[in-house]
Amino acid sequence: MKKTALIVTILSILGTLAYAGSPEVSGKEMKQVAPPPPAGCFDWSGAYVGVFGGYKFSVVDPNLNLEGDWNFSFLRDFRHRVESAGSQDLDNDGGELGGLVGYNWQFGCWVFGVEAAGGYLWARESNNSGTIFSDTEFENAQVRTSFKTHYLLTLAPRFGYAFGKFLPYVTAGLAVGDLDFSQHVALTFFDEGRIASEGGSDRETNAGWMVGGGLQYALCGHWSIRGQYQYIDLGNKQFNSDFPGEFRGFTAQHDVQLREHNASVAIMYQF
């Protein structure tokens, strides 16, 4: 009996030790908490939204290239003057208004984020050459050109380093916008009171690229403001045209290229 009691006692003690030595699992231990940023470095991590307004300067470079029967030698000087009239810059400026959403990850004072933004633009310009007089028996000409862009979307990473409540950063990525281009070359028949025209209009969404940088400042709590600059290249848009009827064969290639300089100010809320 004493032996049995001793065995039971030993087993009881071992069981108690085994239970006491097993860590209690509550599920909280599985949760990993990111270390806070160093002292004096604002915490920029998390999601954010914002609105912005800006000023945009658009560099618009049309190019008119007359081909086919325009290459007759007796039309050389006249053709060059028509091409020059259709290749004048349509640079313009205007406002932009839009919204943004993004997310930041922070490692010490280093901040890495991804941001999407979209805005409506007030950017458009047009040009009318007036009468381009012919120095041959060919008819006088006129060139009318116009360009518009209505919106800009960007999606890009951001990379910065926090100094107290200041966050300077750089960014580069995708830019998407529309190119709305119209150009017509008209020949005026004064004796007959009629006009023959070639050209057209085309609107297309282009994907390009952007690069820029900015400075963000934490106001208080969840609110911050920033200033930002972007250089944007949206590529080019082109189409071909031809006169109808008796002037068929006097073909043309119409081309436009768009680049933008964008300065904006935003107010943002961080969750």
CATH code (residue 266): 2.40.160.20
Strands 251-270 and 166-189: unpaired
Total domains present in the chain: 1
Q: Does some domain include residue 151?
A: yes
Q: Does some domain include residue 200?
A: yes
Nearest Cα neighbor of 111 from 173, 157, 63, 52 is 157
Residue % of the chain over a pLDDT of 90? 73
Of the pLDDT bands very low, low, confident and very high (cuts 50, 70, 90), residue 111 is very high
- pLDDT at position 187 is 86
pLDDT above 90: residue 25: no
pLDDT above 90: residue 173: yes
Q: Does some domain include residue 263?
A: yes
Q: Does some domain include residue 52?
A: yes
Give CA–CA dist 204/241, Å, rounded: 17
Give CA–CA dist 153/176, Å, rounded: 5
pTM for the predicted model, two decimal places: 0.81
Q: Does some domain include residue 10?
A: no
- Containing structural domain, residue 138: 44-270
Q: Does some domain include residue 142?
A: yes
Of the pLDDT bands very low, low, confident and very high (cuts 50, 70, 90), residue 246 is confident
Q: How far apart are the first and last CA of the chain?
A: 70
- pLDDT at position 237 is 93
Q: Does some domain include residue 6?
A: no
Q: Does some domain include residue 88?
A: yes
- pLDDT at position 42 is 92
Tokens (6 digits) for 208: 């390009």
Nearest Cα neighbor of 44 from 116, 115, 111 is 111
DSSP H helices, the chain, are: 2-21, 76-85
Of 2-16, 77-91, 103-117, 156-170, where does mean pLDDT reach its minimum?
Answer: 2-16
